[in-house]
Structure 1
Amino acid sequence: MTISYLDPHLVFAWQAAHSLARGAPAPVRDRGGFRVDTGSEKEARRWVFPRLCDGLREVAHEVKAPRHYLKLCGTDEALRSVLPERWQMQPANYFMTTMVTAAATKSLPDGYAMELQRDGAVVRACVLAPGGELAASGHAAETAEAFVYDRIETAVEHRRKGLGIALMAALGAAKASAASVPLLVASEDGRGLYAGLGWRVLAPFATAVIAED
């Protein structure tokens, strides 16, 4: 069943592992949510809130600089309702988990090859096409509390060949602890893929940003 908010402890665990997967600073608690001082070219800072609260409203009215992101475990309508006009809504996403044990390694189409690279708690999987170009890639990061899948991407010309499923299986096989909860944030398109693999939506995940002028 989809709910309109999530356990803050679970959201913090997701953000901590997500930051690890992307080489970003660890999240800190801020006004009922979690702030990451990303400092990247795309994103200066983000806040993730498990639910609507006065702290989210305060941040939304206080922040005026571009490349700042607000994320809510809730609907687009709920987030939009508390934002000043300068915030722009982004495409909807979904916070998901699964109870399904990681599938065995999936075979790839003829000529494709899987490569895995591990750097501490972070794993990167790449599928190379017969010509050697990158056909698909994905990342995962594990902490004591969460195993987060991130940036599962397949090039347009290589889609519908099972590469995404193979990536998920390869990354899932790297999960070391039975205690870490599998989590991911899916796009509208990705939600169907993950649902077919036994994942379920915990909550919608709304995002707004102050874009560059």
Structure 2
Amino acid sequence: MEAISPALLHAWLAGRSLARGLPAPVADRGGYRVDTRSDSEYCRWVFAASHPDLSALACEVDQPGRLIKLCGDDEALRRLLPDGWQVHPPAFFMQAGSWPGSRSLPAGYRCETLLVGPVCHVAILGEDGTSAASGYAAETSEALVFDRIVTAPAHRRRGLGAGVMAALRAMRTRHDVPELLVATEEGRCLYQRLGWRVLSPYATAERAA
């Protein structure tokens, strides 16, 4: 694993915010803050590495829905937190390497693409017109960021996730920026088969309600 630079972390966060229609990340407490303001999450602070202000911040937070995230493993984050915090299941900060050749979709599926400014949405539809797989990507001057790659349970193990990724990548206009995402444990397996590599674990903690 390697250290994540603040610039690379910012590139991913900025693209993710674009893909989700969220405010841009702002520098705060030695990391970056994103004011998500959803029903389940008020804001998040994301750190490229351990920082003294992370522990101080965790001591100040007294409500759930304020997440602290670290490019590091769960234990590294736990060591920086006071009592009363819960660590979420692990995730992984990843970057694309060499991609395999394009693949055709299985019979009965079709791909629809919607491009709105720098954000692309891809949906793979089944014969009945329902969504079988989908995902988003946002392109900035710093990165191409993939987000919310999902395959419906009934359509898994058919290469549809790889099809979504390929369709999103085909819409890019820049070839000189890193391609980034954060994956769950399950998603990591798919992306590694596509030539992606893990740069760092990505840990999340939230104050218990």
TM-score, normalisation: structure 1? 0.95
How do 1:25-174 and structure 2 match up within 5 A?
Answer: 25-100=23-98, 103-104=101-102, 106-174=103-171
- In structure 1, distance between residues paired with 2:120 and 2:36: 20
User: Contact 1:103/1:173 (CA < 8 Å) preserved in 2?
Assistant: no
SS of alignment partner, residue 105 of structure 2: coil
Out of 185, 190, 195, the position equivalent to 1:188 is 185
User: Contact 2:11/2:143 (CA < 8 Å) preserved in 1?
Assistant: yes
State the 1:210 CA deviation: 2.6
- Amino acid of the residue matched to residue 120 of structure 1? G
- Amino acid of the residue matched to residue 92 of structure 2? Y
- In structure 2, distance between residues paired with 1:89 and 1:103: 38
Distance 1:102 1:42, change over 3 A: farther
State the 1:84 CA deviation: 2.0
User: Contact 1:135/1:154 (CA < 8 Å) preserved in 2?
Assistant: yes
- Amino acid of the residue matched to residue 31 of structure 1? R
- In structure 1, distance between residues paired with 2:144 and 2:125: 24
User: Contact 2:100/2:194 (CA < 8 Å) preserved in 1?
Assistant: no
User: Contact 2:25/2:32 (CA < 8 Å) preserved in 1?
Assistant: yes
- Cα deviation per residue 1:92-133 (whole Å; 9 max; x = unaligned)? 0010102325843x2111111111011100000001111111
Over the matched positions of the two proteins, sequence identity in percent amounts to 51
- In structure 2, distance between residues paired with 1:85 and 1:174: 46
Count residues in correspondence.
209
Q: Unaligned regions of 5+ residues in structure 1, if any? A: none
TM-score, normalisation: structure 2? 0.96
User: Contact 2:48/2:70 (CA < 8 Å) preserved in 1?
Assistant: yes
